[in-house]
Structure 1
Amino acid sequence: MSESAKPRSRFPAALHQVAPSATARAGTLRPQRPLHEAADDARRHVAPTGLGLDGDAARVRMVMRLQQEGVRCEPVLQALRAVQRHGFVDTALAAQAYEDTSLPIGLGQTISKPSVVARMLEWLFLGESARARGHLGRVLEIGTGCGYQAALLAEVSSHVVSIERLRPLHDMAHQRLSALGTPRCRLLHGDGMLGSPSHGPFDSIISAAGGEELPEAWLDQLAVGGRLIAPALAAGGRHQVLVVVDRTAQGLRRTIGETVQFVPLKSGFT
């Protein structure tokens, strides 16, 4: 669940319609820390306290910065105000929790930058069913990571199904979300490329990892009126872009957003 700190355009980035393609192939993950190290991280985690950079004032300042950059979706802003990002990172990194930066969470993964999370959630709210409901409906998240984005999604949806392929991260997220009493959120340990057909269809699908193409399973589980957003390789295969797919009564409509860099999507689970 990571993206690089590349320069990016201001909100909202342009989206360009393209014809959808058919197949999906997996990439490979970056080098990972041993599994026991991430498990140790989860066991020793204690939520930071205090009034410094890990407090309410820092979170409010983070949200104000995002507003200045163009985030206008009030439910997303409210979720960002409500969820304590510092509770999802190691205590040693709590002072950086509300900076616009990705932070390591173990196993070569990171918690995504607040600006990237805000942008992707805001784009989900522009989907047909989300506009009609005023919330994201039933959500499928690919790549639970530390659980921060799942907590945000639970604030703006009717139900969240979040899949993580790495067991120590799944356990870490489960521990943190359970401690917070996060409602309407079901965490699964499994292969995110397969989605979760038994819990679908989904009104919103969001991925924190990108393959060469979007898995057909995700498209099949997207409800009519629903919207999917995920990184994928751009034409030519030299860089990733955010891809938005809307399922209409007439079929799938695909649009392309800005350049990003997330960890490659990988099949299977450990």
Structure 2
Amino acid sequence: MAVDDATSALLAQLAEAGGPPIHQMPVPQARAVFAALADLVSPGPDLHAVREDTVRADDGYKIPVRVYSATEQPHGVIVYFHGGGWVLGSVAQYDAGVRRLAAVTNCVVVSADYRLAPEYPYPTAARDAWDVVNWTSASWPTLPLIVAGDSAGGNLAAVAGQRAAAESGPPIALQVLIYPVINHDLNSVSYLDPANQLLLDRDSMIWFWNHYTPDPATRRNPDASPLWGNLSGSPPALVLIPEYDVLRDEGEAYADALARAGVAVQINIFDGQMHGFFQFPGVLPAADTALGLIAERIVAVTGG
């Protein structure tokens, strides 16, 4: 099976723009190219309220967050961490998708602009994520708390889930991991499969890891590669994985490891999809299917 027609059309459109691959670009250029992907997605729905806020990190830095409220009486609160390999991406770039997430779940969504590498290498992003989770829990103490993210954001959500369990932190009702970065293993079958070298390829992941973890000795620390962590007591998980993804093996391995640790896990494989598909609601039908699946699971958790 090959990628579906919508994905093929999107890849052809991106190819027409030309330019070198991400891993051959300087960071500012790569950020600009990645940010431009948001122009392909139509704006998200109007909501009850959207506001800017900040979360004070342990080192005094003020982490920007954007808070989305679809209703005056939310049923839960979601912390969302955007993708981009810990190097690219922003709250603004993910605005359309996060608006949709808030609307279909009737939840408050706190979208975190955690600090990016290489200016702020590991473990800054993981620590920022933890600070945002704690702030969110304290701000909405009566609402079920969900952590979610895609790609590197899925990594941060998984790290936060493990830390909450290990430190008796905020109770997390669900972790939603969308094609997450889970392990530093660049020679897995899915990493080496030529069919998976699409929007994200092996060379780009090497580039991301080199920027985020310049010290190779840190790459299998549990807060960099969650597969190496203690999964006991982790929150229930929904794991979404595309068929064509260099990260597929590690996502499946993490779901299996969670299940072996006694964690309730739901894993869904999206046939014909590539890494990054969730970033294109309204463009790739599978993104809307995934959003509906996420909403169904979150509503079951929140009672909404």
Superposition TM-score tier, normalisation by shorter sequence: 0.3 to 0.5
The structure in which a higher percent of residues are strand is 1
**Greater relative contact order (CA < 8 Å, ≥ 6 in sequence):** 1
Q: Which has the higher helix share?
A: 2
Tell me the TM-score normalised to structure 1 length. Answer: 0.36
